[in-house]
Chain A
Amino acid sequence: MNTRIAIIALSAGALALGACKKDPPESLPPEPLPTTANNTPATDPNAGMSGPGTQSHFEQMVNGQNVIYFDTDRYNIDSADAAALQMQARYLAQYPNVTVTVEGHADERGTRDYNLALGERRANSAKNYLVSLGVPTARVRTVSYGKERPVALGSNEQAWAQNRRAVTVVVN
C-alpha cells in the first residue's frame, strides 16, 4: 500500500517536472490483435475508423499510446508512461461507457511465477495511475500474462524492452 502511494507521488512529480523523458523502444511493437473488437459493426463507411468503444478507435484517439514500457524488473510510471496514460484517461473521460483491461507483461529473462507477479504489478501501476487521474476503478481491470505473450521475438535488449509493457485494451 505504501509502495503504491509512493509510486503515484513519484509519477505525479515526474509529470510536474516534465523532464527525464525515457526513450521509448526504437521500433514500436505491432499493435496487439484487437481480439475484443471482432464484432465491431462497420457503421459509418465515411468515418475511416471504427466507432467509440472499439480498440481501433481507442488506439487512434490516443495516437497509439495504449502501451507503456518498463525497465528491467521495474514497474514505476515514468514521464513517457504518464503522458500516455493521461491520453488514455482523457479518452476514458470522453467515453464514459468504455471499460478497459490493462494487460501486464514481462520479458523472457525472468522465472515464470515471478514474471506473472511482475506483470500484475505493472498492470496495477498503470491502473492506479489512471484511477489517480479520475478514471473510476470499476472501469479498469487488470490481467497479467507474465512472459507468456511476447510481441518482440528476439532474445536481445531491444526485444525485451518492447515486451516489458502494459497494454490497455478496450473491453467490449
Chain B
Amino acid sequence: MKKLTILLLSAAAFHAMPAMAQDLGQAPPPDGTVETLEEETSGLSGSVTDDTAWQDLSIVIPGFATDRNADTAANASGTAALGKEIARVVFNDLRNNGLFEPVGPDALPQPSYSQITAPSWPVWGNRNAQMLIQGYVQAGADGRLTVGCYLYDVALQDELARAGWVVQPGDWRRAAHKCADLVYGRLSGEDPFFDSRIAYIAETGPKDNRTKRLAIMDSDGANHRFITTGRSTALTPRYSPDYRQLTYLSYVDGNPRIYVYDIGTGRQTLVTESANPTFAPRWSPDGRFILYSMAVNGNTDIYRVPATGGTSTRLTDTPGIDIGGSYSPDGSRIVFESDRSGSQQIYVMNADGSGQRRLSFFGGRAATPEWSPRGDQIAFTHIGGNFRIAVMNPDGKNIRYLTNSWQDEAPTWAPNGRIVQFFRTERGSGDTALWQVDLTGTNERRLATPADASDPSWGPILP
C-alpha cells in the first residue's frame, strides 16, 4: 500500500509543473524615472586643448555643491554630504574602469554653490588640472533631487559640456553615473555605459555543493540585490532590454528550465510549456522574442518564442548541440554555438534560421558568442588548452585574445561595446569572480561582489 502511494506520487512528479515551487526572494523596488533637464549648453563647440591621449588627461572632481544643506532621503547628513558622495561616485566610475586617473573630492577643496557655474580657475590651474568636473545637488519641495553636472577645460577656461537630471532620492547614484557618462562621452567620443546594470549568479558554498542565486547590481556594484533565495540552482540570467524582466535558468521544479521573472510584479513564468529541459535564454534586441535552447531526446536545438508567450519556432535542426545565440544589434542575424562539425564552433544564421554557416576556424573550440552592441565585433570563449576571452570580426576574421588565464568564460558587452565582462574560475578551488577588460585588452580588473560570481550579463543603458 505504501509503495503504491509512492509510485503514484512519482508518476505525478514526472508530468506536473509544480506551480507551487518557489525560490524567489523579495522583489526589488520599482525603478524611478530620471528626467533630463533642458539646459542651454554654452560650450559644446569648444575642443579639448591638449594633444595628449584623453586617457592621460588630468581630471579633478571636487564635491558637488548645494544651495543649502537640506534634508534628503538620499543621505542622513543632508544634501551637502550627498554632494560629496555624488562626486565620489563620478570619481570611482572614471577611475575604476582604468579610463582616467582623476583626483577625487576627498583630496580637493570644496567649491561653493556659486562657483559651480563660475569656476575659480586659479585654484584648479595651480593644481595642473586640465579638466574640471563640478556639479550641484538641490532637494526640491517634493523630495526629488536636481543634480547638475559641468565639464570645464581649465586651460581654455571654458565649459565643454553640461547636463542636469531630476531623480527620486533613491536614484541619486543614477544622476552621478549620468554625469560620469557625460564626461566620458565628451572626452572619449564613445557612447555612455555607466548608467546600466548587471545581472549575474552569486555563488557560495563548497565546490560540490554550490548555492547559486540570481542577483542584480548597478554597473559599479552598488544597489546589489538577490532575486532568488538559493534554495534551487539559478544560472545564466539576461536582463530584458527595458530592464523590466529577467530571463534565467532555474532548477526550481527539479529540472533545468528557463523562466521570465517580472521585476515589477515579482512573479515568474515558464518561457515555454514543455516537459523537455530548456537552457540558454536570450532576448532579441527589441525585447519581442526570446531565443532558447531545448534538448529533445538528448539533441539540443535553438528555438525562438515571443516574449509574451505563444508558439515556438525551431531555428536549427542538426543532430549536434546547437545552443546559445546572440542577435546582431539590428536583429537581422544570430550568432550561435554548434558542435555539428564535431566540436564546439561558432556559426551565424539569419534571424529566421536560414543561411547557417560556420564562422570560427581558429583551431581549438569556440563557444558562447556575444555580438557587440556596436555590431562590429563578436566576443566569445576560445578553448585551446586554457579558456580565453577573444573577439573577432562578424565575418569570423581577425581573432584577438583579450585575456589569458586558466578558465575565462561567458563574455558580455558593456552597453557601448568598449568593455567585455566575463567570469574567471580558479583552478582547483573552483572559486569564481567577475572580471572585465577593455576591447584593447588593457585595464583588466576584478569586480567587487559580495560573494563568488559567475554568468554576468550587462544590460543596455537604463531607459
Residues of A within 8 A of B (CB): 1-4, 41, 53, 73, 75, 97, 99, 108-109, 111-114, 116-118, 120-121, 123-125, 128, 138, 141-144, 146, 148-151, 153-155, 171-172
Contact = CB atoms under 8 A, between A and B. Distances in A.
Given A3-B319, A111-B381, A112-B236, A153 B3 contact: no
Contact of A144 (B13, B277, B297, B430): B277
9 contacts: A1-B319, A108-B430, A109-B407, A113-B337, A114-B337, A141-B14, A144-B256, A148-B212, A153-B430
A75 B254 CA distance: 23
B218 interface: no
Nearest to A172: B6
B297 A113 contact: no
B279 A154 contact: no
Interface in B1-21: 2-3, 6-7, 9-11, 13-14
Interface of B: 2-3, 6-7, 9-11, 13-14, 206-208, 210, 212, 233, 235-236, 249, 254-256, 277, 279-280, 293, 295, 297-300, 319, 321, 323-324, 337, 339, 343-344, 367-368, 381, 383, 387, 407, 409-410, 425, 427-428, 430, 454-455
B409 A111 contact: yes
Dominant SS at the A interface? mixed
Nearest to A53: B3
Contacts of B208: 149-151, 153
A121 B321 contact: yes
A14 to B, nearest CB: 19
Contacts of A124: 295, 297-298
Contacts of A4: 297-298
A171 B9 CA distance: 10
A116 B430 contact: no
4 A-B pairs with the lowest CB-CB distances in the bound complex, closest first? A124-B298, A117-B300, A120-B295, A113-B280
A125 B299 CA distance: 11
Residue from the set A75, A138, A153 with the largest chain B CB neighbour count within 10 Å? A153
B236 A148 contact: no
Contacts of A114: 321, 323, 337, 339, 344, 367
Contact of A99 (B10, B337, B344): B10
A2 B300 CA distance: 14
A117 B321 contact: yes
A113 B293 contact: yes
A78 B345 CA distance: 26
Contacts of B343: 73
A6 to B, nearest CB: 10
Contacts of B430: 108, 153, 155
B323 A112 contact: no
Contacts of B300: 117, 120-121
Contact of B295 (A73, A144, A150, A171): A144
A153 B207 contact: yes
Nearest to A75: B298
Contacts of A2: 319
A112 B455 contact: yes
A118 B428 contact: no
Contact of A172 (B10, B206, B295): B10
A116 B256 contact: yes
Contacts of B427: 155
B298 A125 contact: yes
